[in-house]
Amino acid sequence: MKVFITGGAGFIGSHLSKALLDQGHDVLVLDDLSTGSMQNLEALQGREGFDYRIGCVTDVPLVTELVDRCDTTVHLAAAVGVRLIVEKPVHTIETNVRGTEVVLGAAAKKQKLVVIASTSEVYGKSKAVPFRETDDLTMGPTSHSRWAYACSKALDEWLGLAYYREKGVPVVICRFFNTVGPGQTGRYGMVLPTFARQALAGDPITVFGSGEQSRCFGHVQDTVEALIRLIQTPEAVGQVFNIGTDEEVTIRRLAERVKAAAGSSSEIVTIPYDEAYAEGFEDMLRRVPSADKLEATVGFRPRTPLETTIADVLEHERARLARA
């Protein structure tokens, strides 16, 4: 199997590329390096079956050529990270929606399988925990750019399913819930690597909001395993799947666990949202997935304990600091 990965130089994309290569598949990566990094692909360059292109997912001729060369497309390219989304809503909407449109248009020419990365953000303000794929989506007002990402990814989902129903394109939608692990950057507001770096440096660990908001942090290896299984499962076509662990933790408790695991003396500091982001920023109190549908379809659900995930992130950050 030959797999084309948009955004393949990013965090999830680079881990997925390695896993596919390890299983004997060929991988072709496209990335514009706006949030991805060639450093993520260094270990893959020179491996048999691996190739990459530097370019944008909105480049129609380029994407059409690369989709045509492969059996499956995993569309990961998107604007990511809370800070980037709040600060650049135009970039967020244009990149996410237009990129998905280009990929689906190319795939429709020869009915190629497309796996579209979506997000738990689409559940918006829903309080129906745990979130299930058939739940209603409750967005905030358009006056708050916080919701631009959620709305753009929801539109990606509708577009993908429309191509499936109207044009017969095999499409699978994956809603990621806070995928974390070694190699993730804290540059755009990714909380676990940020906490790890602050703890190891002895800097204040900055918790935005009250710290009582809770999330479920799934290990990237589990996310990759779920993606590969979905690619290989015909019954998944035309379906939407949550991908994430249901081990819930408050952000303050996460900071405490990172501090303890790092043996750090860092102070944990709470910063109001209005100081961290734009005025009127909204966040959800809880975000917990149900992975029942995923498990029923592919026989797998993310189960890596948060303790292991924290340890892996700290190990990676220690190694990075040693190299620096």
pTM for the model stands at: 0.93
pLDDT the model gives residue 321: 86
Local confidence band at 150 (pLDDT 50, 70, 90 cut-offs): confident
Contact 324, 266 (CB under 8 A): no
Strand (E) or helix (H) holding 256: helix 251-262
The chain-wide mean pLDDT, for the chain, equals 92
The per-residue pLDDT for 93 is 80
- Dump pLDDT digits (tens) for 209-258: 889 999 999 999 999 999 999 999 999 999 999 999 999 999 999 999 99
The band of 322, judged by pLDDT with boundaries at 50, 70 and 90, is confident
Q: Please say if the pLDDT value at position 307 is more than 80.
A: yes
Question: CB-side exposure of 262: number of CA atoms within 13 Å?
Answer: 30
Long-range contacts of 184-187 (CB under 8 A, 24+ apart): 184/11, 184/220, 184/313, 185/11, 185/37, 187/35, 187/81
Average pLDDT over every residue of 13-26: 98
- Residue corresponding to tokens 């044009």: 167
**How far is the C-alpha of 268 from the C-alpha of 285, rounded, in Å?**
20
Q: What is the pLDDT of residue 62?
A: 98
Query: Please, which pLDDT band fits residue 310 given cuts at 50, 70 and 90?
Result: very high
Sign of the torsion formed by the C-alpha atoms of 116, 27, 243 and 93? negative
Residues designated as active site: 149
70 confidence band (pLDDT: 50, 70, 90): very high
Which pLDDT does position 288 carry in this prediction?
A: 96
Q: Where are the beta strands (DSSP E) in the chain?
A: 2-6, 26-31, 50-54, 72-75, 113-119, 171-176, 179-180, 205-208, 214-216, 218-219, 240-243, 248-250, 268-271
**What residues contact residue 150 under an 8 Å CB cut-off, 6+ apart?**
119, 121, 122, 124, 139
List the domains of the chain with CATH numbers: 2-180+219-246+288-304 (3.40.50.720)
Instruction: State percent of the chain over pLDDT 90.
Output: 78
How high is the pLDDT of residue 187?
Answer: 64
- pLDDT tens digit sequence for 23-39: 999 999 999 998 888 99
Listed range (50-54, 134-138, 145-149, 216-220) with the worst mean pLDDT: 145-149
